[in-house]
């Protein structure tokens, strides 16, 4: 017997009625399952049947945003106050294993990639219960009601018109109009939204949220809809708040069997990210601007990742003569003021900045004021996301994106007296943390403790920069001209770092492409290289002749990817690419191309994912939740992704 776990989202109207918004498969559990899921309710399915085996098909990875996160602990309330808190799927896996063990059932756990569009085929029978939480493009619920909002809303409307918000869909087959002639009153807040038919949509743009005042304005909004858009009342209930934030609800249900029986697994309440206040900005079209979205929607961004950026259009940096300029005004070969940190190697290939730390005493006593030359400045697409605003003593303020890396002082782990310095992202800072600032008047380094941290959401013009040979620059305070924050232009692109390490190579083996590495294994290299290589059997891994560690890789040549957004290796859809040139075929017959990614420098070599649809290699494809385009897992095909320059 087959079944799928779905999540249906609701809002509670001012009259207390719950209204369904959408339903989804391929969901995250979103909560700590051991506090929400009573596995004994599965007895309702198992008892009296021949079932003696449970197969659980789940996603192996989770997408985690950079928005402020709140940790869910056993002591916390059973609510989540931030949409970016993501629970562990392994928790559900563990509970199902426990249930099977306690009932004497066989349990099989099958993991698929996060955005895979297909699932492994498991033959159904009377003795099996197949529980799926991963997306399957061939399933009716997934590809119709979860993907197509019109199909879901039409089904709900035909069953009970009051089960969904008042809606307008302009379609000959699925269309209906329940908006009526009375304008919803949400006070100063928006009252109607325009949504996309197909999921996923770009959450930077949709839903569009409006403050409509008259029927004429509503009729105009109807007439201006795109073919794949629809209108709903925006339900705002100021009495249904959690920590001063608007909320929504998710019911997680298991739909199973030929009759599509429904078993509720748990329900959870979420809040939006920003507080509901008494201010609502509107543009000239009475539409809310982007910085208001986290106040009114829990889906305000598409799994926001850290793009490779070093500052925005208003970022000020110090020049060698202590004057200031905008980062965006710099030209190639311009110099900026910088400092030399004595413990920090100048050669980026010799350090992993995520793990680096240095002596605070050595820094204070031996730093040097220097300069660094700009070798590259690239304007990126507008960045949409959160900005962290930190205020130190003496009204010193700094602001940047969540992943910008700045220098911090802290106690060395396990010590009460020895202080170190390390680079840390803005979103990992906490009040009372100590920042190291450069005082441009005294040409010295000083310490300032963080007093408050706030965050805002916006869309800004951003830039990626590279300063050589010193990769540090001084970001000036927001409201002054004296203090600079020591910022690193860390390379957020995919890079190779030769890091000394000993990694268990039990998962390394030769799979006809030279080598393969599992998730816990170093990335071994082909025979004849200067780096460890894999043998033909699992567990065989050979180091360089002068340093053979047997089953251990030493000085493994590891691939690192800081942040992720510009690690383009998996972006395979033709829509991502331009200047595409066919260069040949792989041994299995897959076309290989060279191309550019739109809006970026560099030539890459790889495949066009669209060509794999309907082939034996379709299992390597995934869907990007940010834009609905195709990704590819290169480990599942015989083509290597390469950056040519």
Residue 78 has pLDDT above 50, yes or no: no
Q: Which pLDDT belongs to residue 225? A: 96
Closest CA to 525 of 534, 513, 538: 534
Sign of dihedral through CA atoms 187, 189, 192, 197?
negative
- Please provide residue 192's backbone torsions phi and psi, each rounded to the nearest 5 degrees: -140, 150
Residue 336's contacts (CB-CB under 8 Å, 6 or more residues apart) are 317, 318, 319, 320, 330, 371, 372, 374, 467, 473, 474
Residue 565 has pLDDT above 70, yes or no: no
* Model confidence pLDDT, tens digit, residues 192-247: 999 999 987 788 889 999 999 999 999 999 999 999 999 999 999 999 998 899 99
Mean pLDDT highest for which of 59-63, 278-282, 377-381? Answer: 278-282
- Look up tokens 């509970």; give the residue: 95
Residue 390 has pLDDT above 60, yes or no: yes
Q: Identify the bridge partners of residue 106 per DSSP, sorted by sequence position.
A: 53
Q: Identify the bridge partners of residue 592 per DSSP, sorted by sequence position.
A: 584
* Model confidence pLDDT, tens digit, residues 21-53: 999 988 877 677 777 888 899 999 999 999 999
DSSP codes joined into one string, 436-462: EEEETTTTEEEEEEEEEEEEEEEEEEE
Cα(199)–Cα(61) distance, integer angstroms: 20
Residue 643 has pLDDT above 50, yes or no: yes
Residue 460 has pLDDT above 70, yes or no: yes
Q: Which pLDDT belongs to residue 640? A: 79
The CATH superfamily of 311-495 is: Hedgehog/Intein (Hint) domain (2.170.16.10)
Cα(192)–Cα(166) distance, integer angstroms: 10
Q: Which pLDDT belongs to residue 262? A: 95
- Going by their DSSP bridges, the two strands 324-326 and 311-312 should be labelled as unpaired
Q: Which pLDDT belongs to residue 613? A: 79
* Model confidence pLDDT, tens digit, residues 345-376: 887 767 777 778 999 999 999 999 999 999 88
- Collapsing DSSP to helix, strand or coil, 334 comes out as coil
Which residues make up the CATH 2.170.16.10 domain(s) of the chain? 311-495
Cα(451)–Cα(438) distance, integer angstroms: 18
Rounded to two decimals, what is the model's pTM? Answer: 0.65
Mean pLDDT over 417-431 rounds to 89
* Model confidence pLDDT, tens digit, residues 475-529: 999 989 999 999 998 754 433 333 333 333 333 333 333 333 333 333 343 333 3
Q: Which pLDDT belongs to residue 502? A: 34
Q: Which two tokens stand for residue 97?
A: 């294993």
Question: CB count, 10 Å around CB of 15?
Answer: 6
């Amino acid at each position: 017997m087959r079944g799928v776990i779905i999540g249906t989202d609701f809002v509670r109207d001012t009259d207390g009625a719950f209204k369904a918004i959408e339903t989804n498969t391929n969901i995250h559990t979103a909560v700590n399952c051991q506090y929400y899921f009573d596995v004994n309710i599965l007895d309702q399915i198992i008892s009296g049947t021949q079932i003696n085996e449970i197969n659980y098909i789940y996603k192996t990875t989770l997408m985690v945003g950079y928005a402020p996160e709140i940790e869910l602990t056993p002591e916390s309330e059973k609510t989540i106050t931030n949409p970016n808190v993501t629970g562990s799927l392994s928790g559900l896996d563990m509970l199902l294993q426990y249930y099977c063990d306690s009932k004497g059932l066989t349990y099989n756990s099958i993991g698929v990639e996060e955005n895979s569009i297909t699932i492994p085929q498991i033959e159904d029978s009377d003795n099996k219960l197949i529980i799926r939480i991963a997306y399957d493009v061939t399933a009716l619920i997934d590809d119709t009601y979860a993907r197509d909002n019109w199909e879901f809303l039409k089904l709900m409307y035909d069953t009970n018109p009051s089960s969904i918000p008042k809606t307008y869909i302009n379609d000959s087959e699925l269309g209906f109009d329940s908006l009526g002639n009375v304008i919803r009153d949400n006070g100063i807040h928006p009252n109607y939204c325009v949504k996309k038919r197909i999921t996923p949509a770009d959450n930077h743009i949709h839903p569009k949220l409006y403050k409509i005042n008259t029927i004429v304005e509503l009729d105009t909004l109807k007439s201006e809809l795109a073919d794949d858009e629809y209108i709903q009342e925006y339900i705002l209930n100021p009495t249904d708040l959690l920590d001063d934030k608007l909320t929504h609800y998710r019911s997680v249900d298991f739909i199973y069997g030929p009759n599509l029986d429904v078993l509720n697994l748990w329900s959870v309440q979420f809040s939006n990210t920003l507080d509901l206040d008494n201010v609502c900005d509107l543009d000239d079209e009475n539409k809310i601007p982007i910085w208001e979205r986290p106040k009114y929607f829990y889906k305000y961004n598409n799994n926001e990742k850290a793009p490779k950026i070093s500052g925005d259009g208003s970022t000020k940096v110090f020049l060698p003569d202590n004057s200031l300029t905008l980062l965006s005004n710099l030209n190639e070969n311009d110099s900026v003021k910088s400092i030399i940190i004595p413990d920090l190697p100048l050669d980026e290939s010799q350090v992993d900045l995520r793990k680096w730390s240095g002596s605070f005493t050595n820094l204070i006593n031996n730093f040097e004021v220097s300069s660094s030359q700009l070798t590259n400045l690239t304007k990126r697409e507008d960045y949409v996301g959160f900005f962290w605003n930190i205020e130190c003593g003496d009204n010193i303020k700094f602001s940047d994106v969540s992943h910008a890396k700045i220098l911090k002082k802290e106690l060395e782990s396990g010590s009460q007296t020895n202080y170190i310095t390390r680079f840390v992202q803005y979103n990992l800072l906490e009040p009372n943390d100590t920042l190291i600032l450069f005082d441009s008047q005294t040409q010295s380094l000083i310490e300032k403790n963080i007093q408050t941290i706030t965050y805002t959401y916006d869309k800004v013009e951003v830039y990626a920069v590279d300063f050589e040979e010193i990769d540090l620059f001084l970001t000036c305070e927001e409201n002054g001209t004296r203090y600079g924050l020591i910022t690193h232009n860390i390379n957020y692109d995919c890079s190779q770092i030769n890091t000394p390490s000993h990694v268990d190579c039990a998962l390394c083996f030769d799979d006809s492409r030279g080598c393969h590495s599992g998730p816990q294994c170093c990335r071994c290299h082909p025979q004849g290289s200067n780096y460890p290589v894999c043998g033909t059997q699992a567990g065989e891994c050979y180091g360089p002749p002068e340093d053979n560690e047997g089953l251990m890789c030493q000085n493994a040549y590891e691939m690192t990817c800081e942040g992720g957004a510009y690690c383009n290796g998996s972006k395979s859809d033709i829509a991502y690419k331009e200047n595409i040139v066919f260069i040949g075929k792989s041994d299995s017959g897959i076309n290989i191309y060279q191309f550019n990614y739109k809006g970026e420098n560099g030539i890459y070599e790889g495949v066009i994912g669209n060509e794999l649809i309907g082939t034996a290699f379709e299992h390597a494809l995934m869907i990007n939740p940010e834009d609905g385009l195709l990704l590819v897992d290169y480990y599942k095909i015989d083509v290597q992704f390469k950056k040519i320059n």
